C-alpha cells in the first residue's frame, strides 16, 4: 500500500527516524546529515539523492528548531550573522584546500583521518570535561544563561581577554572582540569546507568553549546558521533534481515533533550525565566513520551496515537519555514543590 508515492511501512519508518533525529537536533544543534545521509546510502539510495535529501531535511528541521529556540530567547542573531560571514569565508578556503589535496592525491586519507580525529577528539574532550569538572562542561541549566566569568571555559576567558575593538555584546552577558568571533567562525568554516560536513558538531562546542556564550544560545545560534547553509546547499542540489521529497517530507514530519521535545528539554534538563552521553555519541560516531572508511578501503560493504548500526545505536541511546532525564527532572520538580496544606 502506498501513500504520496511511498510505501506506508517506509513512510512510518522515516517518520520514526525523523523523531529521533529531531530530538537530537533540537537538544544539541547537531546530528542531522551525520545520521540521515549514511542511513539513506545503506538503504540503497544513490549518493547524490542521499546527500541532497539529507541536506534539504536538515534545512527544514533547522527552521523548526530555530523557531522554537527563538521562542525561548536562545538565538543571538548578531552572533549568527557574524558566524555566517566568517564560516562562509572559511568554507571557501577549505574547499580550495580540498581541491589542492585532491590534485596531490591525498584528499581522501586527509579527510578520513581528520574527520575521525576531530569527532573523537571533541567527544573525548567533552566527556573528560563532564566527568572531571562539572563547572566548565556543557550545561543547559537556567542559571547558565548568565554565567560568571570564572565559570567560563579557560580558553573562552582567554579569547574574551583580547579586547581588540570593536567589542560585541552577546546574549548571556558576554562581550567579545568582533575579530575573535570572525576568527572562530573562519576556523570552523575551514574545517567544514575541508571535511565536506555541515559542521554543527564543530560549531556548537566552538561557540561555547571558544566564544563563551551559554550552551542554549550556542545551540540556538548554531541552528540559525544551519538554516542558511542548509537552505543554500539544498537549493544547489535541487537544481540538479537530486532532492527526493518522498524522503524529506516524512522525515520532517517526525523531526518537527522531535525537535520540539529536544528544544523544550534544553530548558528543563539538568544534564551532567547527558554531557557524557553527548561525548560518547561523538566518540561512537568517530568509531562508526572509521569502520566505514576501513570498509571502503578493504572493499567490505558489510562494514557500512556495521557503521550505520553503531551510529543509530548511539543516537537512540542519547535521545533516550534526554527523554528519561527530562521525565526524571519533571518528577523531581514536582516532589520539590511545596505541597498544599489540607
Partner 1 sequence: MFGIETLGGSVGAVVLIGIVLLEAIVLYVGYGALERFLGPRIARLLRGE
Contact footprint for partner 1 (CB under 8 A):
4-5, 56, 59-61, 63-64, 67-68, 231, 234-236, 238-239, 241, 243, 245-246, 248-249, 252-253, 256-257, 260, 326-327, 330-331, 333-334
> How close are the terminal C-alpha atoms of the chain, in Å?
58
**Shortest gap between Cβ of 231 and partner 1 (angstroms)?**
7
Mention every residue, 6+ apart, whose C-beta is less than 8 A from residue 187. Answer: 90, 206
Residue number, 317 or 330, with CB nearest to partner 1: 330
Q: How many Å is the maximal CA-CA distance in the chain? A: 79
**Shortest gap between Cβ of 340 and partner 1 (angstroms)?**
12
Residue number, 64 or 168, with CB nearest to partner 1: 64
Contact 212, 156 (CB under 8 A): yes
Residue number, 263 or 287, with CB nearest to partner 1: 263
Residue number, 68 or 292, with CB nearest to partner 1: 68
**Shortest gap between Cβ of 315 and partner 1 (angstroms)?**
21
In which residue are the cell numbers 522525515 written?
A: 251
Calpha distance 330→342 (Å, rounded): 24
**Shortest gap between Cβ of 85 and partner 1 (angstroms)?**
22
Per the structure block, which three cell numbers stand in for 285? 560516531
**Shortest gap between Cβ of 230 and partner 1 (angstroms)?**
10
Residue number, 313 or 320, with CB nearest to partner 1: 320
**Shortest gap between Cβ of 196 and partner 1 (angstroms)?**
21
Calpha distance 170→175 (Å, rounded): 6
Calpha distance 248→32 (Å, rounded): 12
Q: What 8-state DSSP symbol labels residue 209? A: I
In which residue are the cell numbers 530567547 written?
A: 73
Residue number, 221 or 234, with CB nearest to partner 1: 234
Calpha distance 33→200 (Å, rounded): 10
Calpha distance 62→69 (Å, rounded): 10
Cis status, amide bond into 166, omega within 30 of 0 = yes
**Shortest gap between Cβ of 26 and partner 1 (angstroms)?**
11
Cβ burial of 115 (10 Å; 0-12, 13-18, 19+) is: buried
**Shortest gap between Cβ of 39 and partner 1 (angstroms)?**
19
Residue number, 69 or 140, with CB nearest to partner 1: 69
Q: What backbone phi and psi angles, to 5 degrees, belong to 175? A: -120, 120
Residue number, 155 or 327, with CB nearest to partner 1: 327
Calpha distance 180→297 (Å, rounded): 40
Which of 6, 111, 116 is CA-nearest to residue 53? 6
Amino acid at each position: 500500500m502506498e501513500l504520496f508515492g511511498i510505501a506506508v511501512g517506509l513512510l512510518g519508518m522515516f517518520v520514526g527516524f525523523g523523531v529521533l533525529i529531531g530530538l537530537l537536533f533540537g537538544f544539541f544543534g547537531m546530528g542531522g546529515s551525520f545520521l540521515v545521509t549514511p542511513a539513506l546510502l545503506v538503504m540503497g539510495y544513490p549518493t547524490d539523492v542521499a546527500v541532497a535529501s539529507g541536506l534539504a531535511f536538515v534545512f527544514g528541521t533547522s527552521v523548526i528548531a530555530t523557531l522554537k529556540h527563538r521562542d525561548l530567547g536562545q538565538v543571538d542573531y548578531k552572533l549568527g550573522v557574524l558566524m555566517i560571514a566568517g564560516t562562509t569565508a572559511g568554507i571557501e578556503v577549505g574547499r580550495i584546500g580540498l581541491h589542492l589535496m585532491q590534485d596531490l592525491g591525498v584528499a581522501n586519507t586527509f579527510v578520513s583521518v581528520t574527520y575521525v580525529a576531530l569527532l573523537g577528539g571533541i567527544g573525548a574532550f567533552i566527556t573528560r570535561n563532564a566527568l572531571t569538572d562539572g563547572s566548565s562542561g556543557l550545561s543547559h541549566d537556567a542559571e547558565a544563561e548568565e554565567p560568571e566569568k570564572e565559570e567560563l571555559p579557560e580558553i573562552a576567558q582567554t579569547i574574551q581577554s583580547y579586547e581588540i575593538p570593536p567589542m560585541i555584546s552577546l546574549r548571556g552577558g558576554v562581550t567579545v572582540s568582533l575579530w575573535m568571533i570572525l576568527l572562530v567562525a573562519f576556523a570552523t568554516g575551514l574545517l567544514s569546507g575541508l571535511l565536506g560536513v555541515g559542521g554543527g558538531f564543530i560549531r556548537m562546542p566552538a561557540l561555547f568553549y571558544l566564544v563563551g556564550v551559554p550552551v542554549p544560545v550556542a545551540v540556538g545560534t548554531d541552528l540559525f546558521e544551519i538554516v542558511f547553509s542548509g537552505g543554500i546547499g539544498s537549493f544547489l542540489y535541487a537544481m540538479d533534481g537530486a532532492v527526493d521529497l518522498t524522503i524529506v517530507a516524512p522525515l520532517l514530519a517526525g523531526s518537527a515533533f522531535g525537535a520540539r521535545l529536544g528544544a523544550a528539554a534544553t530548558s528543563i534538563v539538568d544534564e551532567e550525565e547527558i554531557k557524557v552521553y553527548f561525548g560518547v555519541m561523538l566518540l561512537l560516531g568517530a568509531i562508526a566513520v572509521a569502520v566505514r572508511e576501513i570498509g571502503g578501503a578493504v572493499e567490505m560493504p558489510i562494514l557500512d551496515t556495521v557503521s550505520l548500526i553503531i551510529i543509530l545505536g548511539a543516537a537512540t541511546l542519547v535521545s533516550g537519555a534526554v527523554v528519561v532525564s527530562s521525565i526524571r527532572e519533571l518528577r523531581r520538580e514536582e516532589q520539590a514543590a511545596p505541597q498544599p496544606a489540607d
